[in-house]
Amino acid sequence: MSDQAHKIRLIMELRRSGITDTQVLSAVERVPRELFVPDTFGDRAYDNIALPIDQGQTISQPYVVAYMTQVLELFPRAKVLEIGTGSGYQAAVLSPLCRRVFTVERFRSLSRRAEERFRALGLTNIVTRVGDGMLGWPEQAPFDRIMVTAAAADEVPQALKEQLRDNGGILVVPVGDGVAQEIVKVRRNGDTFEESRMLPVRFVPLVKGVAEEKR
């Protein structure tokens, strides 16, 4: 089966699983996921599963990528912060759905390779940074939307909540330990942060600091 046939099958599976936003589905369909997975897993690029990448990290299951993108409630002029660039796949899906994506990664090598993929695909509205994702990107705040692609241990990081735009900014983040995690959606109105608990998930942990690279 060709990559295109696999991709069509994946999009149909996402529809059946409750992804109803046609713009999100279109973004997933346009991004060549095979460019974001290791060559050894190229034949599984359009399977609806998470896959390992370098530095002990993962590229998320397409359903989780689409789900988190859908609940973020994006709009064309949105300024978005992503914590955890990884392979760059999630940022590539966000790219056509908003004005600009600022993405932070603690592994320099992952950030560099993600940048190369963004350039190859002509995704000029993505800005990368190597840094501590727990701190967000305060110089660029406030953000209309924030997505975290690693699990906060027990609560939503306060620094990220404070970088949300105060009139309806939305933050989507997995929260919990390695066994029990769930996606939490935070909506800010002034100094009030309304939290909703959503989908059970499994993500790598959100870790402080810039990483020491594994050789």
Instruction: Please enumerate in sequence order all residues whose Cβ is within 8 A of that of 120, keeping only pairs 6 or more positions apart, or say none.
Output: 35
Task: Report the alpha-carbon angle 103-104-107, nearest 5.
Answer: 130
CB distance 64 to 78 below 8 Å = no
Tokens 């974001």: give the residue. 36
CB distance 90 to 62 below 8 Å = no
Q: Could you tell me the CA-to-CA distances from 195 to 3, 8, 77, 176 in Å, in that order?
A: 38, 34, 24, 14
CB distance 7 to 25 below 8 Å = no
Which residues are designated catalytic? 60
**Longest pairwise C-alpha distance within the chain:** 52
Distance (Å, whole) CA 157 – CA 33: 29
Neighbours of 139 (CB within 10 A): 7
